Homo-oligomer: A and B are copies of this chain.
């Protein structure tokens, strides 16, 4: 019950130790500026008073450094953590932060989009990473308005900020060509949401780009009617969509999924319907998340360096903060992707008409 009542301030500690607040501050922050004797006195005074150390909020107000990076994630935070790919990305960010002594502030999304932007405005951070946000996300606008350094990852692709991403169109094209090369002609697509904003501009760059890539790669085999939108990005919507696709009179012999999570849903549906993969249905994912290699059959997918993306985004941001560069938004990194052939794709069955 020693220090139950009031907060102990640095001033109290200084008084107790019989030194000035300046010296007390130095005792904690820059020990080399005070004598050993003073330092010891201050520390022991702090101990007897139960002083929890300099108040972080006060310190940052004075120093102008918030000591944290803000991470704006795409869908509601909930889904964020169900897609292993984004977990890997987060791991990369965390890795870059190790040793920098910075924290990582996740900005939770919420149903009410305005509340959400408020959180961005209130976030005590030195910069933001925008991770795969839609084009009209109010949080992105709020982040931009803060005037802090920002690194955008994946999308939107044309923000006036630094950018880290991949060539989604080319990657999708590779995936589509692979199926064509195997001989498939009836190919369905499991896509992310594809909504339009008020002005009629597409708001999900990623979806647009990948769709375009699929179309290019599929060529004459492209079938607009075989595109299914899955929302949110989780196994369940993909499972349902695949059920529907496979129940049609002339079901597809292959599925292009915009994420491994969606592909997993397709696999699930196929298993439930007794459709063998890859014997009767080929499936190509996107992301090469940890789950891809664990799936049965192992998933053929587009591999992209999620961890590296996180690391790079964080490093760029740290650099910008360190050097007070609010500019140089021209920097763009397009990281390489690769089609990883595993066990979920094969030529279509012979008996297909």
Contact = CB atoms under 8 A, between A and B. Distances in A.
Interface of A: 3, 50, 52-53, 55-61, 66-68, 70, 76-82, 84, 87-88, 90-91, 94-95, 97-99, 101-112, 115, 118-119, 121-124, 145-147, 264, 268, 290-291, 294-296
B147 A50 contact: yes
A122 B91 contact: no
A145 B77 CA distance: 30
Number of copies: 2
Contacts of A57: 57, 60-61, 66, 124
27 contacts: A53-B145, A56-B121, A56-B122, A57-B66, A60-B124, A61-B61, A66-B124, A67-B123, A67-B124, A77-B94, A77-B95, A77-B104, A78-B91, A78-B95, A81-B87, A81-B91, A82-B91, A94-B108, A98-B108, A99-B115, A101-B118, A103-B108, A104-B105, A106-B106, A291-B291, A294-B294, A294-B295
A146 B98 contact: no
Contact of A98 (B67, B77, B95): B77
Q: Which 3 A-B pairs have the closest CB atoms?
A: A77-B94, A296-B296, A81-B87
Contact of A94 (B59, B106, B111, B146): B106
B82 A87 contact: yes
